[in-house]
Amino acid sequence: MTPDPGPSGAGDLWHVYTDGSTRHERRQTFSGWAARAVQPQAREVRQVSGARPGGTSLEAETEAILAGLRLVPGGAPARLHSDLDLGTLLEVLHSPAGEAARAHLADVWVLPVARNRGRHPADMHRVARAEEADARSGEPVGSTGLSNATQEALGLARTGPADPPLSLGEARRLPGQAGPLQLRVAGLPPALDGGPTALSLTLDLGSLTGRGRTPEEVIQTALHPLLTLLTHGALVEVRVPPIWAVPTQAAASGLAGVRVLAHPDPAQQHEEGRA
């Protein structure tokens, strides 16, 4: 069994904080919800919120949980902090909608926490209430609470960890089946050439062209734009011939969701076997 990653977790662990708010006033009911996903090591923060007429508190909480899980990149593990009781929370996560929302994740650790204790849960409570109030007054969704809270979250991402929520029990693991997106790079020369060059790379997803004065520049121009897009939605393993591992790691620097693996090129191995 995979061990509990602990309060801070592994390097690729995302923390998900959610809250939902429903109020009935003057014969009208409106619901608001908010979710935030935080990756402490990369100091990356993602956030979403919404509101609608009607609904119940459980429906608002459920929407926040599902939206929060969808914020986490594919293949990553997540730790879900929720003030729902554990039984209700597991029912939500084992429902068809819950299974779909976490199908792209490696593991989900479910942790019951005290209501509005800690910076992120308190922020989500304020945003959910602001969304509900906006919907009641006819304002566009996200017109007040979301932008301000997002700025606060970005400030937290720059300055470091916030005060943690108060745990009410041990984390429960829901094992996932998703793994990182595996991207194999083929067509690279068997040796590095320090002079100007151009390469046509063959990927599992298609072909790319890179140009540059050094091997690092060639890989950078070919792979970096694609990897930047892919890491918005998934963890990525890039498999390259061992001699190209260092230039590829340089090209992927600054992208927290990329892992470079040295892996022989099958085409080159075949040619060497024939020689």
More confident residue, 164 or 238: 238
Q: Quote the pLDDT of residue 16.
A: 93
Query: Which run of H or of E encompasses 198?
Result: strand 197-203
In the predicted structure, residue 45 carries a pLDDT above the cut 80: yes
- The token duo for 55 is 């609904």
Q: Quote the pLDDT of residue 255.
A: 73
Q: Quote the pLDDT of residue 64.
A: 93
More confident residue, 216 or 64: 64
Q: How far apart are CA 270 and CA 224, in angstroms?
A: 28
Q: What are the tens digits of pLDDT across the range 11-31?
A: 688 999 999 988 887 778 889
In the sheet that 181-186 helps form, which strands lie side by side, from edge to edge? 206-212, 197-203, 181-186, 236-240, 258-262
Q: pTM for the whole thing? A: 0.60
CA geometry: angle at 171 spanning 165 and 174, to 5°?
A: 125
pLDDT, average across residues 150-176: 58
